[in-house]
Homo-oligomer: A and B are copies of this chain.
């Protein structure tokens, strides 16, 4: 029986939050519907971060109110602080009985400087702030996921010691996060480093408590995913079309593209529940929403290999 791998889609939140031209709420909901139809089992839909910081996600409550339900699908919303949690809970309170489940997620960095630049707190202050988010969220019946950014390297500090990542991951799990996703924020990770990091972590926790969130900035994302698969991990984050993840420049890549991940997993005989043609359709829609070609390679290969239709009427 083929092993099941959970493809954790982050495009609608991570991908769209950095767009210069804000995508309209209706466009986001169309993308969410298509991703749901494609069978993604986890979709990070939005973030209850302050609209002052990220105006593109000011419609978080409207998004949560309209999330399309699908069997087995759980959505996720980022909650950076107690206020964000209160907004998520208020939005949830307004949805009906049949609304799909929405988990919460908290995020911090393994490197002090990135943490301070990104969330305006020291790592110690972040632990304290999460005491006001995670236990209350759990008390309200939410599941909470944790993110550790800069787990391979930091744009300000360079290489990050795996022991630092282990410390942050253990704190998040001890707080009650059901899973910690390790983020290669600047896409510098290579396989031996990934193996060492996972060896350290798996001496302390089970594989299901960990996920990899790789960036393909230097083409190494799927090689690192392969190391994760070999270590027994079963959840991998990716973004439709490779949307988001702070690409530096035209043609540069950030997030691992969902299509590239799913292509490799299916080719290796894993089950994901993802429907390939519908996933490609979601990638096409994402391209139209942001008005440019996205860096995902399998998406581009798939679109380019389609038969070219002759002119009108063909």
Pick from B190, B297, B303: contact of A219, CB below 8 A.
B297
Are B219 and A304 interface neighbours, CB within 8 A?
no
Pick from B223, B257, B267, B301: contact of A222, CB below 8 A.
B223
Are A301 and B264 interface neighbours, CB within 8 A?
no
Chain B neighbourhood of A221, CB < 8 A? 219
Q: Does A94 contact B (CB under 8 A)?
A: no
Chain B neighbourhood of A301, CB < 8 A? 187, 217-218, 248, 252
Are A264 and B190 interface neighbours, CB within 8 A?
yes
Task: Output the least CB separation between A184 and chain B (Å).
Answer: 12
Q: Does A272 contact B (CB under 8 A)?
A: no
Contact pattern, A 242-254, Cβ under 8 Å of B = 1, otherwise 0: 0000001111110
Are A252 and B192 interface neighbours, CB within 8 A?
no
Sort chain A's interface into a size bin: 35 or more
Q: Does A269 contact B (CB under 8 A)?
A: yes
Residue of B nearest to A257 (CB): B219
Question: In the assembly, what is the distance between CA of A193 and CA of B191, in Å?
Answer: 19
Contact pattern, A 193-205, Cβ under 8 Å of B = 1, otherwise 0: 1000000000000
Chain B neighbourhood of A290, CB < 8 A? none
Are B192 and A267 interface neighbours, CB within 8 A?
yes
Question: In the assembly, what is the distance between CA of A269 and CA of B192, in Å?
Answer: 8
**Given A260-B220, A268-B192, A298-B218, A250 and B293 contact (CB-CB distance below 8 Å):** yes
Task: Output the least CB separation between A93 and chain B (Å).
Answer: 41
Q: Does A300 contact B (CB under 8 A)?
A: yes
Question: In the assembly, what is the distance between CA of A285 and CA of B283, in Å?
Answer: 33
Q: Does A11 contact B (CB under 8 A)?
A: no
Q: Does A103 contact B (CB under 8 A)?
A: no
**Given A192-B267, A192-B268, A251 and B300 contact (CB-CB distance below 8 Å):** yes
Task: Output the least CB separation between A275 and chain B (Å).
Answer: 17
Q: Does A14 contact B (CB under 8 A)?
A: no
Give the interface centre of A188, A219, A220, A267 by most chain B CB atoms within 10 Å.
A219
Q: Does A166 contact B (CB under 8 A)?
A: no
**Given A226-B226, A269-B192, A301-B187, A220 and B251 contact (CB-CB distance below 8 Å):** no
Give the interface centre of A216, A218, A253, A303 by most chain B CB atoms within 10 Å.
A218
Q: Give me the 9 closest cross-chain CB pairs, A-B, nearest first.
A: A190-B267, A219-B260, A248-B304, A249-B304, A218-B298, A222-B223, A219-B297, A252-B300, A192-B268
Selected A-B contacts with CB under 8 Å, 23 pairs = A188-B267, A190-B263, A190-B264, A190-B267, A190-B268, A191-B267, A193-B267, A216-B219, A217-B298, A217-B301, A218-B297, A218-B298, A219-B221, A219-B222, A219-B260, A219-B263, A220-B260, A223-B225, A223-B264, A226-B227, A249-B303, A251-B251, A251-B300
